[in-house]
Every structure is written in C-alpha cells, then in structure tokens.
A and B are shown apart, each in its own frame.
Chain A
Amino acid sequence: MELIAAAALGKFIGAGLGGIGSGMAAIGVGNVAGNFLAGALRNPSAAAGQTATLFIGIAFAEALGIFSFLVALLLMFAV
C-alpha cells in the first residue's frame, strides 16, 4: 500500500522535475533569439537572410525541452 502511494508520489514529483527541463529550454531559446537580435542590430541588412537559421536554431534548442515535456507527459499519463 505504502509502496503504491510512494510510486504515485514519485510520478508527480518526477513530472514536476520535468518542468525544470522545459525552463532550461526556455533559457536556450532566449539565448538564440537574443544573440540573433544583437547580431541583427549590428548588421540589419544581413538579418533578413538569416531568419531561417534563427528558426532552425530555436527548433533545435527547443527539442531537448520537448523531451523533458514528453517525459513529464509519460509519467503523468502512461506510467
């Protein structure tokens, strides 16, 4: 009985810890966008051609946050 309760508790704690991963990914995405903006303000004429690179960078930074989100979802609904 206590073991089941502990498992249920651990599930929720683990899902909550997964939120840290999402927060870290938010920092990463902010880094990418901020550095892009810093570069774009220095050389605005080159910025338009690099928006695709910006989105690719954001997508890759976001991917690892998505994995932690996925782990949280799996803990909440699948385990």
Chain B
Amino acid sequence: MVAKRSSSDGKAPSRRRKARQPLSDGPDWTFDLLEQYESEIDRIATDFKLDIYPNQIEIITAEQMMDAYASVGMPINYTHWSYGKKFIQTEQSYRRGQMGLAYEIVINSDPCISYLMEENTITMQALVMAHACYGHNSFFKGNYLFQTWTDASSIIDYLVFAKNYVTQCEEKYGVSEVESIMDSCHALMNYGVDRYKRPQKISIQEERERQKEREQYLQSQVNDLWRTLPKTKASDKKSRKRFPPEPQENILYFIEKNAPLLEPWQRELVRIVRKVSQYFYPQKQTQVMNEGWACFWHYHILNRLYDEGRVTDKFIMEFLHSHTNVVAQPNYNSPYYSGINPYALGFNMFMDIKRICTNPTKEDKYWHPDIAGSDWLETVHFAMRNFKDESFISQFLSPKLIRDFRFFAIEDDMKESYLKIASIHNEEGYQDVREKLSAQYNLSNLEPNIQVYDVDVRGNRALTLRYVPQNDIPLADSANEVMKHLHRLWGFNVTLEQVDEDNEVKLIAACPNVIESSKNTTVTI
C-alpha cells in the first residue's frame, strides 16, 4: 500500500503542489524549523480531532538516549543496579552496532515528554513528532486503560517522591538493605496489580501526607494480625478458615499489607515498586494498538502535509522509506522473522478499519456490520479509546487482513511428536485465527497465573501460593529463585503449589527448600 502510494505520487507531483512554499527539507534541523513543522503537524492533528496533552519536546544525544533506555524510559527513577546492568547492555550492543537506538521515547505524562535524538534528520524529526507527540500522546490521553491505571499529571512527581524515599532509606538503613528488598520486589513486579479492581490513582500530595500515617497504621494492622497466637491443637487446623479467604492475585499488595516481619519503610518500598509496575501495566496490554495508532497518524499527517504542498518530494520519499521499514512484517520463514511486528499489525488494522468504513465490501458488511460504511474518523477514535490489544484484535481483525498477512495457527502439543496446523486464512479459519491471535495478546495467557492461596496464620505462618497452569504449560525453573525472594519478603516458609486439571495439588517450589527433604522423609523441620 505504501509503495503504491509513492509511485503514483511520483507521476504527477507538480499538480498537487499548491502555491505555498514548502518547508525546508534539511537534512539538518534547527529549532526554528522544528517549530515550523510542529505547528503544521499540530494544525493537521487538530483537523483530525487528536486530543493531546501539551507537548514537551526534548532534544537529546545518543548517550542520553541510552540513559533513558536504562531507566525504563523514565526521565527520573530510583537507583538500582539492574538499571546499571541495562545501561551497560544497551551501551555494549549499541557500540558493537548490534542494535540501533529508537528515534524517540515518549513518556505518558502531562505535559507529555518526548525525547528526540539529535542525530535525526528533519524528516525523521517530523515523523517522530507526528508519531510520538501526536500519535502516542493522544493514545495516552484517550485510551481507557491509561485513563484507569495511570495518572499522567502525577507520575513524574511520584517518581521524584520514590527516588527521594529510596535515597533516604539508603542513607538510613544502608544501600545493601534497600537493594535486597528492591531485588525481591522486582522479582514479583508482574504480580503487583489487581486486574479486576479499579486502582487508586497515585498523587504526590496524598502520598506525602498519608505516607507517615500509613506507616504507623499498617504496622498496627500487621501487629494485630499476629498479636495473639493461641496454642491450637493439630485437629483444629482442618476446620480453620483460610487466610486470605479468597486467593489474591496481587502478591505485592498482599505482602505490603500482611508480611509479618517487614519494617514500615520496607513496606513503603514494596509499595513503590508496586505503583511503578502498575504504571506500566497498560503499556504491556496496548502495544499493538499504541504503535498502530501512532503509525496511522504519522502516515496520515505527513501525507496531508505533502498533499498541501508543505513538504518536498525529497521529504516524503525519505519518510516513506522509514515508514515502510517500520511497518514491514517478515514472513515466518524469513531470517528476519521474530514474531508479529506490533507496528505492522497495528498500523494495518487501523488502515483496515478506515477502509471498512469508507469502502466496505460485502464481506466486510457481513463481518463488521457495526462499522462498515460509518464515519472513519469517529470509528478509529472509538477503537482507540475503548479497547486493548486482546479485545481490539477480536473486534476488528477482518478476514481481508488475515488474508493479507496470510496468518496461520500452529498447535504445538508437547505430547505429540509433530506440530499441527490448526487453521489458515480461509473461510473456516478466520474465526479461529482471530481468536487465537487475540489470545496471544491476553496478558493472563502471557503471565503465569499465580495467586496467594493461604497463610498458616495460627501455625508456622507459612505462605502458600498456587499456580494454575493453562494448557498444561509448566513454570520455568526460575520459580525457585523467585521463591527465595518471596521468602525474604515474607520472612517465613513459602511454598508454591501447582493445581492440575484434575484438581490434584503438588508442591513445585519452596523456600527454604523442603522438596528434597520431604522426598527423603528423614529430615522434617
């Protein structure tokens, strides 16, 4: 589609040209030129009804970009060795030329901060501004997951608070103490979110005011829970109620509130990691949509600029070259293949929605009766606001796109000695491919389902987690290491059980490691 467009432009570029003088196509950029481009892009974005946070655009060097990479894209973050490791890795692979750096990084904050690399040509800067400062920015502001889970206006403040708090703790209790708690929290970082509850938004004022109060209150709660430990006989155990009464998926929250031995400041550190991980929770679930949306808009905005004669042929050719690279999808047997390119899938899906709206076929009317022939701008905005990757794909992936991508589903069962093709891009396969592709972006399929199941409140305070496998997929060996971290936080024995399909429960990991000893049945402590 992209290639076709550029060749037809090549035939009659002069006819499109309006009287207005096009903007300079560089290749070098200046701040004046950036501002001119930005205001042009802004004008068109307003036409397309993109609602954005105010932009704060920062020009940085490659080295600063690597800094930004290391602190998970945040302009400020607490200090931790793992970020140093990340930085060293990035720097190594960048120096050896194994990897290029991103053209930009954009932060979900209000004002929306975008980093542009100084090495970019003016074309790339324009592309990146349209992509990040208008595409991603409007996605952050509009999408329901971001609205629910993040508070753009307070994230920077919160990170400042977190950084200072961690530094204070390091001064008070020593770097190693803090580091070990942070390590343990990072190991459980993916288990710091209540998926089905509305989270509280983080706000700096409240954090500061309540933090002291919370410390004392939390500690008193914990003390209360463990205060009296009446002697009970073993027979009572069977009849006792489980604690927690319902399994808890938010392990970090459970630890923050209930771990018996943590100091108040340690609970606060758990909370910080939990809150930061919550901030990234929507990003994990909207990668395809977010990138697709941003590509869709940089494509439209820059093409509109060209149609108006505001940019030169040279500019648009360079842009199309980059754009085509970004949204390319190598086939499964290509040496460049590394899974489905979220840029390609997202961009093509939004383009396809536009196509279904403006130019529906009979098939589209059958598969997408609700949007076929409707106003495309309204529809893409609706899609952007109300979906995440999983639901977006199951709602909008059209048969035509499945055919274009020639998607096929492979069923890989360890019990069999072969792989099976479950469905391909044909009439009977569309539904199945769409379902399976959608499931591929379902976070609960990506992350093992592990929940806090029980605490032996009246006994040895042992904490039991349960893993419920999907499709018999086992946990990787790293679970043993993670259990050590969990043990550090909990302070008493921790065990991890697996519940199989036939409701059979087996112990798969524990810390201190009792699996060995229970097998021998000689040592039992």
Q: Please determine whether chains A and B interact with each other in the same assembly.
A: no
